[in-house]
Chains A and B, each alone.
Chain A
Amino acid sequence: MADPVVIVGAGMAGLRAAEQLRAAGWEGPVTVIGEETHAPYNRPPLSKEALAEAADKPLHEVHASLAFRQRASVADVTWRLGTRVTGCDMDSRTVTLADETVLDYGGLVIATGLRPRRLRLSGPTVGRSALRTLDDAYALAPRLRAGARVVVIGGGFIGCEIAATAIGLGCAVTVVEPAPAPLATALGPEVGAAVQAFHERRGITFCTERKVVALTGDEAVSGVVLDDDSVLEADVVVEAVGSEPNVEWLAGNELDLSDGVLCDAQLRVVGRSDVVAVGDVARYPNLRFDDVPRRVEHWCTPTDTAKQAARTLVAQLRGTPATGACTAMPSFWSDQHGLRIQGFGLPRLADDVRVVTGDLDRVEDGVIVHYHRGERLVAALLVGIPASQHRAHRDLVEAANPLPTDDKLQTSVLKGVPA
């Protein structure tokens, strides 16, 4: 029997990779290896309703409500959960597991995703949390009791969502953010300031342009020290300061691992024809926008990248040329105190932010923002706007960033990305 396609990572990216390998016609064996013991589940609720539920519902019940429904086509896939991959030798086509088992592969899918970045702070570790997994949610939830003083370090999407959930549970919540406003890095300072004001109206306190430099407390955290020497008392400290790609196991294969794993526009790992990457660990160029490789940490990324990655790998295993490229329109959302923030495109490319509908002073009444780079519309953001109006704005971004012609696409793909 042929060596299996091995998928390393059993989150959403691993599952989508398996499903799309089948959809692309791969009928051979597939093995998915993942460190978590839980079958693939949906993570976004972990900072929202599932975090609130985790305080009084058993884990298996919440997992059951979050687990992805799996397509019938992946019923014969071998799952090795609770198993960490420690190394990979791409010349001999093997991966090594934590118990030193060595597995051969015919094709490899990198789907190891991210882990939360942690701050290097001295002081107690009890009372410090980060949130990525279901187990993380279960560690944090019991401590978000009414009256608890919670400091969230980092005002990105996850930080803002956790803050909103915590205040909804009756905690006293402060967000510490080094930028001038929360979400400023992702959505720009104007929108960030508007979202901050919205959170403040719901009782959340912000310390912007401030960093946490130390923790206080003996056995458990009692507070955080900021870089202006002020101290915030805290029973719970949540670090939401971004993520780090899980790529250490790939060392020694002459890959560019400087930020995730560098791929070409077909999700082929640069330098390795029989290895592809799926999900937010993949740094690849979206030729719809430009040829700059980027990692995209959106929920849609595994689904968007798995299709092309599977087509590329199956073509390679059959000895035929791969066609297409991953040119999906980035789409992302966040829910904060019931306010839906929906975005399309790449706001970070913008040098000009224009409010086209509504008033940033009252985001809850509905605001539409267009992000431009020069005259080109690169993203649209809809805050508190019914979904019936979303498509029109997504279509505008799509029209402003058309797919390259087939010829151009082929040239870009063949040229690849310099390692």
Chain B
Amino acid sequence: MKVTVDRALCQDHGQCAIAAPDVFRMDDDGKLVYEPNPDDSLRDEVEEAADVCPVQAILIGD
């Protein structure tokens, strides 16, 4: 699965890091770091992360 975060939209809310901690995390400065090619078994939590992103910046590809 391919995950892309639109950096122009991302406002570092951190909701994705709560929904899908295996894929998204906030670094010590509060900036987003993420795994762009997570295993397909994580699809449910990545979809959850995309849903809860307040600025809808997460795009999921195949």
Contacts and interface: CB of A to CB of B under 8 A. Distances in A.
A300 B52 contact: yes
B29 A386 contact: yes
Contacts of B11: 335
A51 to B, nearest CB: 15
Interface string B10-21: 011111011001
Nearest to A335: B11
Interface string A295-335: 00001100100000000000000000000000000010101
Interface in B1-58: 11-15, 17-18, 21, 26-30, 47, 50-52, 54-56
A391 B52 CA distance: 14
Nearest to B9: A65
B51 A331 contact: no
Contact of A303 (B17, B21, B26, B51): B51
Given A333-B13, A387-B12, A42 B27 contact: no
Contacts of A42: 54-56
Nearest to B25: A388
Contacts of A300: 52
Contacts of B28: 386, 388
Contacts of B54: 42, 44, 299, 333
B18 to A, nearest CB: 6
A56 B30 CA distance: 32
B52 A386 contact: no
A69 interface: yes
A388 B56 contact: no
A388 B26 contact: yes
A387 B13 contact: yes
Contacts of B47: 71
Interface in A370-393: 386-391
A267 to B, nearest CB: 17
Contact of B30 (A45, A68, A386): A386
A178 B26 CA distance: 39
A303 B19 CA distance: 12
Nearest to A388: B26
B59 A387 contact: no
Contacts of B29: 386, 388
A199 interface: no
A390 B56 contact: no
B15 A388 contact: no
B52 A388 contact: no
B44 to A, nearest CB: 9
A388 B27 contact: yes
A132 B55 CA distance: 17
A283 interface: no
A388 B28 CA distance: 6
Nearest to B26: A388
A16 interface: yes
Interface string A39-70: 00010110000000000000000000000110
A390 B18 contact: yes
Max count, chain A CB within 10 A of own CB: residue among B12, B52, B54, B59: B54
A386 B11 CA distance: 11
Contacts of A149: none
A383 B12 CA distance: 14
A44 B11 CA distance: 13
A45 B47 CA distance: 22
B30 to A, nearest CB: 3
Nearest to A386: B30
A394 interface: yes
A303 B52 contact: yes
26 contacts: A16-B51, A42-B56, A69-B56, A69-B59, A299-B54, A300-B52, A303-B52, A331-B15, A333-B54, A335-B11, A342-B13, A386-B26, A386-B28, A387-B14, A387-B17, A387-B26, A387-B30, A388-B14, A388-B27, A388-B28, A388-B29, A388-B30, A389-B30, A390-B18, A391-B14, A391-B17
A-B residue pairs, 10 tightest by C-beta: A386-B30, A387-B14, A388-B26, A387-B26, A387-B30, A303-B51, A388-B30, A390-B14, A387-B12, A391-B18
Given A42-B56, A71-B47, 5 more contacts: A44-B54, A333-B13, A386-B12, A386-B29, A391-B21
